[in-house]
Amino acid sequence: MSGHNKWSQIKHKKGITDKKRGQIFSKLSKAITIAAKNEPNAQFNIKLKSAIEKAKENQIPQDNIERAIKKASEVGENLEELLMEAYGPEGSAILIEAITDSRNRTVSEVKKILKDYDAKWADPGSVLWAFEKFNNEWRAKFPQKISEDGMKKLEILIEALDGHDDVENIITNVDL
C-alpha cells in the first residue's frame, strides 16, 4: 500500500502545472490574435512576429498559433487591447496591459483586484508619464525604491493581477 497515494500526488502537481500552462497558452493566443488583426503575415507585422516567437518559446503548438491568426480574420471576434494605470503600495506606478473581449468586465475586475490589495485606479495619463516605450516594451523612466513591506505588498498585487485571464503584462516603476 506504500504507492497508494503516489498518483494523487502526481495528479495534484500536474493539475497545477497544466493550469499555469493553459493560462500562458490563452494569453499568448490572444496576443497573436490582436497582433494579426491588421496584418496576418508575420513578415510584414513585427508585433505578430514577436508574439509568434514568444509563443514558440513557450512551446505552443503550431496548430494553436495558426488558429489564433485565423481567428483574427473572423468577424465575430472583437478582442481589444487595454492599457490601464494604477497606483500601488507607497505610490508606485503600475501599468496593466490586457487583451479582452469585454472592456467593461475587465476594467471592473481589475478595479476590484486593485481595491482588494489596497491599490488605486489611476486616470488615463496620470501614471503613463513615468514610463517610456522602448523596443515595443514599457520601462520606467524614473525607477523608484520602496520599503521591504511595500515590496511584499506589490509582489502580492502583481501576482493577483497576473492571475486574471485577460491581463497580459504588468509593468511597475519599482526596482524589483
The ranges of the chain annotated as CATH 3.30.70.980 are: 80-172
Task: Give the per-residue pLDDT at 77.
Answer: 61
**Percent of the chain, pLDDT > 70?**
94
Mean pLDDT of the chain: 88
The ranges of the chain annotated as CATH 1.10.10.200 are: 6-73
Say if CB 172 and CB 142 are below 8 A apart: no
Task: Give the per-residue pLDDT at 20.
Answer: 82
- 25: enclosing H helix or E strand: helix 6-36
Q: What are the pLDDT digits (tens) for 98-143?
A: 988 889 999 999 999 999 999 999 999 999 999 999 887 899 999 9
156/159 Cα distance (integer angstroms): 5
Class for the domain spanning 80-172: alpha beta
- Tell me the CATH number for domain 6-73: 1.10.10.200
Residue recorded with cell 503600495: 89
Task: Give the per-residue pLDDT at 11.
Answer: 74
pLDDT band at 3 (very low <50, low <70, confident <90, very high): low
150/132 Cα distance (integer angstroms): 24
Mean pLDDT of 58-74: 86
pLDDT band at 25 (very low <50, low <70, confident <90, very high): confident
- Judged by DSSP in three states, 93 sits in strand
- Count CA within 13 A, CB hemisphere, residue 139: 4
121/141 Cα distance (integer angstroms): 20
Residue 2 has pLDDT above 80, yes or no: no
79/87 Cα distance (integer angstroms): 26
- Judged by DSSP in three states, 138 sits in strand
Compute the residue count for the chain: 176
